[in-house]
Structure 1
């Protein structure tokens, strides 16, 4: 974007976080459906999950955990953007960074952002999963802050970072896969002449990138989801770690269960990227028009 330097870094981070939050308002139902499918120990489908939610919980249940989704964007996206911008500017002091350096910066930024965003992620997983449980087993968090305070009170502070390692691993995979596949898809579409620079190109590239990223990151994502939702029974957690989750999923549910929730995950990833980009561009343009 031309004139990007006229926007202070603090404003860039703020706009990035708000853009991610705005996009989440549109895709939150897909996040909920994906989480429900990943937590299901049996074979299920997107249609079955949606039908069950609408029948048993009502249409507004599709937005369960929205406050946690918004806090996750406020922490994860803002931190990731801040770290990426800082590292990219540092690496650019001696010229344009190579593709591998950009990928490394993206992975590092995603890793740090994921660590900061893990508490909101834990709350999100639990809040979106609550409706599938029996009434007696539900946690019934009122909102994300109630969830965070209760987790600290009932399970200890460090429970907020349960599943942090697979969450950080997922973020590194997502950032590396997104960066490589988005850049490549955009270049191929431009070279073939089917699309020109603009929102249609960004949308198509995002959807192709989303397909690659979804396939690459879902096994790590399902491990993260189940670890963050697990309960400790008689002092023993359900899973020992990410490898234990993946081993049990493959053993009891089959290899392809590692990609359970693929459709809603993919349907969320591409549009969320596009919507974030649209909001980012519009708010940046508005800032330049009104405050620069």
Structure 2
């Protein structure tokens, strides 16, 4: 039941934050491997990107990739939050004295994140392809011509087999390891501190909300550079064998991006990342915590 509640909580958050994921994806691909000032900036900031996409591609384009985004969130976070919840309920994250252990919490969050992200990697890749698709006048990055999630998965599978479907999966894992461990560790630790310091009533929904807000800020700061290169790894063009033509892997993508675009290139789309990851983290963790509380309350 923990897995189902976790997946549903993440899907609920995704419905509201997917337009920000579209904006974030395009801003991360804008000016790929080009020096600052040498390319046309179609998207100057988050708000300009929203207006531009809505005007040129239509308002429906702001929900591009929604189907794979929902499926990915259900699979990835169902496994990730569900596994972490079981570890927490089993007492594996606490010391002998009963206090939360940040190292155990971070390790459990990272392991749970890796499991969910690797299994959901083909869906995430297709989501990235679909969200990057745009009219030629505002297109950034490589443009795949998929007609939908199932057509894309079928086409990639037929051309490149299972290996092609999981292209970029290993390169995307550092993003998930850092993001998941940071998110779940800071969420649990903040909840624990708020309860210990009696800042808010222990059973109040405000405890989970405050902890989720702190977690959202920490995740964006830690995860954005790895998120940028992960998006590019998934979206890069491939040869006939399904091998990426621009990057050999995560380290090569980090090196090339830093060398050509500088430190700010590593944080492209951080505004969109915060507006997307912040609310998504807050909503998904809050929904997850409240659903678990209700379930365990009524099943005692």
TM-score (norm 1): 0.83
Query: Which of the numbers 146, 162, 166 marks the counterpart of 2:171?
Result: 166
Say which of 245, 255, 261 aligns to 1:247: 255
Q: C-alpha displacement at 1:286, in angstroms?
A: 6.8
**How far is 1:278 from its partner?**
4.3
- Unaligned runs of 5+ residues in structure 1 are 1-10
Superposed, which structure 2 residues align to 1:53-132 within 5 Å? Answer: 53-88=53-88, 89=90, 91=92, 96=98, 98-131=101-134
Pairing 1:232-243 to 2, within 5 Å after superposition? 232-233=238-239, 237-243=245-251
- How far 1:279 moved relative to its partner? 3.5
**Does the C-alpha gap of structure 1 residues 286 and 140 become closer, same or farther in structure 2, counting only changes over 3 Å?**
farther
Residue aligned with 1:238, SS: coil
Tell me which of 4, 29, 48 is aligned to 1:14: 4
Q: Name the structure 2 match of 1:207.
A: 213
With over 3 angstroms needed to count, the CA separation of the structure-2 counterparts of 1:80 and 1:258, relative to structure 1, is: same
Counterpart secondary structure, 2:120: helix
Instruction: State the 1:90 CA deviation.
Output: 7.6
CA RMSD of aligned residues (A): 3.1
Q: 17-26 or 278-287: which moved more?
A: 278-287
Range with greater deviation from structure 2 (56-65 or 264-273):
264-273
May I ask how many residue pairs the two structures share in their alignment? 281
Query: What is residue 35 of structure 2 aligned with on the other side?
Result: none
Unpaired runs of 5+ residues, structure 2, are 32-38
- Structure 1 residue 275 displacement after superposition: 2.0
Q: Partner residue of 1:222?
A: 228
CA contact (8 A) 2:57 2:135 kept: no
Shift of 1:212: 1.8
Alignment check: 8 A CA contact 1:203 1:271 kept:
no
Change (3 A) 1:108 1:290: closer
Looking at secondary structure, tell me which structure has more helix per residue: 1
Q: Is the contact made by 2:95 and 2:101 (CA closer than 8 Å) also made in structure 1?
A: no
TM-score by length of 2: 0.81
Alpha-carbon separation, structure 2, partners of 1:24 and 1:101: 28
